[in-house]
Structure 1
Amino acid sequence: MNGLYRENGWLGKEPWWKDATFYQVYPASFKDSNGDGWGDIPGLISKIDYLHQLGVDVVWLSPVFESPQADMGYDVSDYQKIYAPYGTVEDVDTLVEACHIRGMKLILDLVVNHTSIEHEWFKESRSSKTNPKRDWYIWKPARYDAEGQQIPPTNWRGYFAGPTWTWDEHTQEYYLHLYASEQPDLNWESEACREAIYENTMCFWLERGVDGFRIDTVNKYSKRTEYVDAPITNPNSPCQPAPEMWCNGPRIHEFIHEMRAKALEPYGAVSVGELSNTPHPSQVLPYVSAAAQELDMVFEFSMIRLGTGGMFGPKYIYVPFSLPQMKAIVAKWQTFIEGTDGWTTVFCENHDNGRAVSRFGDCSTPELWRASAKTLALWQATLTGTLFLYQGQEIGMTNMPDTWGIDEYKDVEGLNFYAEAQASGDQKTIEDTMHGLGILARDHSRIPFQWDDSPNAGFADEGVKTWMRVHDEYRNINAANQTAGQDSILNFYKRILRLRKKYKDLFVFGTFRLLQAEHKAIFAYVKESPSGTSNAHPQTNGHTVNGHGGKKRAAVVVLNFSKETQDCLDVRGVLGCDDEDVARLLVSTWHREDAKRLMLGKNASPPALKPWEGRVYVSF
């Protein structure tokens, strides 16, 4: 099967990407090799062994194509060229080779909902109404209000604030852009446009050995073509949120199925789609059903959006949330594939969100920072699905210091929302927006990687002005000192990624059952091996869990999401241990010298959980 599947022992043949660990590299901020303060592909190549030693199977490289950088490369002006500060096409070839030599793979970030206004396709499209590429983008005439004033074709609000339409003086029409005005949307209704996308953006790179794509904004290709106004939900604004007009549109599954058939399937390429505004499992499953032959997996964002005030006007007005809320969302998306032929993903960080340890952990003291970062690692590594890590997550990189002002923020979205707050003239809105940006802004994940305690954190040479400011804490939080530290977050990640592979029947492929859903501090769940996996490991006794039929291996994951000591669960009872059985502590985020803690026999109770401690127990 061209390497698409590999033997997983007791699980039989599964696609290789299901138990792979993916690692997202944000190239501008990973490693600068040439002293310009901007990360690049040669810099990434120089750190491939670091990723290999971490346990990474697949590198996901965020956009590196030619671009004016209105949105950090998500505005592509040429899909077959590399933005010069990142390197060259030949550098990508070298990166592919470096990954493959080590048994790793490389996927690129595919941005084909829109291009840059500098792309030749758009230049042709806007050159005249009769140009053959006119319909490769979405053009509409102006409307006029009751007073005869010109207004856009619809009242839709874009993701980066403001209208989704920009007037083109030359051809006297508006073009659609869901994001910045420099990012005009492609018209997937045009067959010629679609064919060009497959050939020029996908097959070009797959022919060069790239192993697949993370596909940006994948469910926005099919718009509702009647182009009508959205309901007015904000009477104080001329622009209204309208994701229902462009997400999961009438032809979306046709388009993605075609993309797979014409570009992905011939190369055995893996695909993971960014699926926003799709909060119901019944909506998501058609995208990831194996029988549907669309995408291998998708990112669903309900959990990572916790704390945001919505996707549009109030996005950066922070909304506190409880642990039970988080648990309910995790349980929903852990279980939605059970009994289906679909698949899911596991992640809590990416380039569009604040750092996980700052949002879901506790950075109030160095001890709690370290403990909570490891507990978040244990949480992620024991969830069902394909695991995705983001650069710096493995060393517990944190949000920018709250002493940094708005002048340190670079992201177009955050700056637009802040400008909108300022334009309101309301001081509380301005303060609330700045507070929210301090937790949620995309900039937090984009500051330079902290490699060591040398000037510029080893990201760039001393004296180089980096494109974003290096974090103040780089001397305390960096990869070099964590490589040496036995109890470090980095070394814990290495350990837990190995355990995830060793116990893949439980952690990658196992079913998920939430325990104590309403507990405000404890996040606990049972992971159980799939049916048909019994007796695969003779060292286990194969006990049932809470009466489930058949012999299946099981684990109990218990995580203390608080800074207070908490009583542990009755793990022997949850595992269904009888008098002769022993519940073994498979892993803990805290070092333990007391051997009595490792094995729980008859009448033994697990010790209390330390602040932000996580544990996994199995029955032997």
Structure 2
Amino acid sequence: MIADKSKFVPRVCYEIFVRSFCDSNGDGIGDINGIISKLDYLNELGIEAIWLTPIHPSPSYHKYDVTDYYAIEPEYGTMDDFKRLLDAAHAHGIHIYLDLIINHTSTLHPWFSEARKSNSNEFRNFYWWMTPPQIEALGISTRETSDDSQVVYPWHENLEDPEKYYGLFFKGMPDLNYHSEALRDELEKIIRFWLVEIGVDGFRLDAARHIYPDWEKHLSIEFWQYFSNIVQEVKPDAFTVGEVWAETEEVAPYFRYLDATFHFDLSFALQRMLIGERDEEIVEKLQASYALFEKYNPLFVDAIMLTNHDQDRIGSVTGNHKAKIKMAASILLTLPGQPYIYYGEEIGMLGTKPDPYIREPFLWTNNEPESGNTSWIEAQFSTTDTVAPLEIQQADPESVFNHYRTLIQLRKSEPALAQIFAPNLHRVCLHDNQMLAYLRPHIDKSLIIMHNLSQFSKPILMPADKADFVHIVFSNDPQHSELLTKMELAPYCSLILASIPNR
């Protein structure tokens, strides 16, 4: 069982796709110094932890195919730059989580360059190799596609080699084989280097359910016991959040060894609800998932998000509907868990697959000189014609940015919303499946949150036992101010209520 890290868990996190966030030197590519220059902004927004997408050297634009685990991608800066980022982030009270890619490497990694030379090479067992007859005998020549990999034929040829190598995601990303004790020794060195020598606060763990291939799937969970034991030994307060892109039942066992995992079922349910404008009994589904997670770890952290760098942006999912974009934020930031905001969500950025277009440049300003805007790709979705840059939104009290900022501040200041462990969530029945309402009970001050998912004004049919919840903590419906006097909620609006004592 993992240790109690309750003192070290940030309440609001932010995912930065480094290449697209902020360019400090005018080469069009986001970099580490660019992130340093925006820490005041992130602090203003209310962010307490940053998940950085991979920063290691890599031949790709996304850097998920590592060639050196001990270095910084030169396009992004130097190790000294990264150390300055850590120091500056910590001075702002912000943790840094490193995206650790240990399911696979690049084919250009020295390990694989050696392994592919011959089946007697000392690095050969760092990867998965089989002859075509062996592959056929095991019935593993093809696989069913999954949300996180569309590859059907995962075995790839190595020129003039009788054996093929296994690469679940892409032929340029050969999977590592952790049956190799020598590889495990190398992994331990990598963990120690980043947690102790460099001082990062934790890891986002890529492809956590695929550490072993499908035919040895059960070993992936056991692997994380080994991994977490190393983390506990070298830095007990380090935080781990895993990408387990699967349904809740498959996700739950990973909580035995990881502090948090991303809640993909919730992400997709929220997207469907925003499109269909109807509740999917989300409170009951969340309660069921909490009960399941708790069986494996009473101190589980539910890492919740709207979308991430592998999904169509929530702005596009909603059809660039500003009120729905705001409501998506209202739901995310009032549910239990540890929310992760994908960079640009707070200004309503847009994007649909293919992947580069869900990772477009953050819009800081209207492309003024030295704005920090990156230009490595020509944006097709998030342009100044479709999304107001941050500079404009900061001055607009009705902007998506200021909506996010207000709700983040509220989440951090209200104990009922800030609670991460032992999620506090109960259904409030308003007798309308286009009205989502829930109670966040707390000994200091309980809150009722309600969202009108529809395009129509809706009556608020408050249960009799909740009649004293009339003090308005938050509302983006202009007809409400300090007290709930009009029992109605405008389309796509949200309301947070507290009770008035002795009423």
TM band (smaller chain): 0.7 to 0.9
Alignment-derived partner of residue 474 in structure 1: 384
Alignment of 1:329-340 (within 5 A): 329-330=285-286, 332-333=288-289, 336-337=292-293, 340=298
**Of 22, 28, 49, the match for 1:58:** 49
Q: CA deviation at 1:567?
A: 1.8
Cα pair distance change 1:92/1:517, threshold 3 Å: farther
Alignment-derived partner of residue 378 in structure 1: 330
Q: CA deviation at 1:59?
A: 1.1
Alignment-derived partner of residue 460 in structure 1: 373
**Of 447, 455, 458, the match for 1:563:** 455
Note the alpha carbon deviations across 1:441-499, whole angstroms, 9 max, x for none. 534430110111235994438xxx53242646425511111111122221222221121
Identical amino acids, percent of aligned pairs: 27
Cα pair distance change 1:456/1:142, threshold 3 Å: farther
Q: CA deviation at 1:300?
A: 2.9
Note the alpha carbon deviations across 1:371-394, whole angstroms, 9 max, x for none. 222222221111111111110111
Contact 2:324 2:492 in 1 (8 A): yes
Alignment-derived partner of residue 78 in structure 1: 68
Cα pair distance change 1:449/1:574, threshold 3 Å: farther
Is 2:438 the counterpart of 1:525? yes
Q: CA deviation at 1:53?
A: 0.9
Contact 1:334 1:383 in 2 (8 A): no
2:399 maps to amino acid: S
Q: CA deviation at 1:507?
A: 4.6
Is 2:368 the counterpart of 1:488? no
2: distance between equivalents of 1:569 and 1:453? 45
Is 2:475 the counterpart of 1:588? yes
Contact 2:99 2:203 in 1 (8 A): yes
Note the alpha carbon deviations across 1:502-552, whole angstroms, 9 max, x for none. 2233453442123459844222212222xxxx3xx4xxxxxxxxxxxxxxx
1: distance between equivalents of 2:465 and 2:100? 44
**Of 338, 342, 365, the match for 1:390:** 342
Alignment-derived partner of residue 547 in structure 1: none
**Of 279, 288, 295, the match for 1:324:** 279
More displaced stretch, 203-212 vs 19-28: 203-212
Alignment of 1:172-571 (within 5 A): 172-200=162-190, 203-204=193-194, 206-223=196-213, 245=215, 249-267=217-235, 268-280=237-249, 283-289=250-256, 294-305=257-268, 323-325=278-280, 327=282, 329-330=285-286, 332-333=288-289, 336-337=292-293, 340-359=298-317, 361=318, 363=320, 369-399=321-351, 438=352, 441-454=354-367, 458-460=371-373, 466-469=376-379, 471=381, 473-474=383-384, 476-509=387-420, 510-516=423-429, 519-529=432-442, 534=443, 537=444, 553-570=445-462
2: distance between equivalents of 1:302 and 1:199? 34
SS of the counterpart of 1:129?
Answer: coil
Cα pair distance change 1:145/1:459, threshold 3 Å: closer
2: distance between equivalents of 1:285 and 1:255? 15
TM-score, structure 2 length as denominator?
0.88
The alignment yields a C-alpha RMSD, in angstroms, of 3.1
Contact 1:586 1:617 in 2 (8 A): yes
Q: CA deviation at 1:132?
A: 1.5
Superposition misfits of 4+ residues, deviation over 6 angstroms? none
Contact 2:431 2:461 in 1 (8 A): no
Q: CA deviation at 1:582?
A: 5.6
**Of 133, 143, 151, the match for 1:156:** 143
Contact 2:158 2:164 in 1 (8 A): yes
Q: CA deviation at 1:201?
A: 5.1
Is 2:479 the counterpart of 1:599? no
Q: CA deviation at 1:100?
A: 1.0
Residue correspondences, number: 486
More displaced stretch, 498-507 vs 40-49: 498-507
Is 2:189 the counterpart of 1:165? no
1: distance between equivalents of 2:430 and 2:309? 30
Cα pair distance change 1:86/1:470, threshold 3 Å: farther
2: distance between equivalents of 1:468 and 1:157? 34
2: distance between equivalents of 1:495 and 1:205? 33
2: distance between equivalents of 1:497 and 1:307? 19
1: distance between equivalents of 2:451 and 2:314? 16
2:307 maps to amino acid: E
1:521 maps to amino acid: Q
2: distance between equivalents of 1:90 and 1:55? 26
2:333 maps to amino acid: A
SS of the counterpart of 1:499?
Answer: helix
Contact 2:129 2:164 in 1 (8 A): yes
Alignment-derived partner of residue 8 in structure 2: 16
SS of the counterpart of 1:28?
Answer: helix
2: distance between equivalents of 1:92 and 1:119? 22
Cα pair distance change 1:4/1:34, threshold 3 Å: farther
Contact 2:271 2:306 in 1 (8 A): no
SS of the counterpart of 1:192?
Answer: helix
Cα pair distance change 1:37/1:182, threshold 3 Å: same
Cα pair distance change 1:566/1:507, threshold 3 Å: farther
2: distance between equivalents of 1:193 and 1:144? 23
Alignment-derived partner of residue 31 in structure 2: 40
1: distance between equivalents of 2:292 and 2:426? 12
Note the alpha carbon deviations across 1:357-380, whole angstroms, 9 max, x for none. 332x453xxxxx332222222211
Q: Structure 2: give runs of 5+ residues left out of the alignment.
A: none
2: distance between equivalents of 1:270 and 1:144? 40
More displaced stretch, 268-277 vs 156-165: 156-165
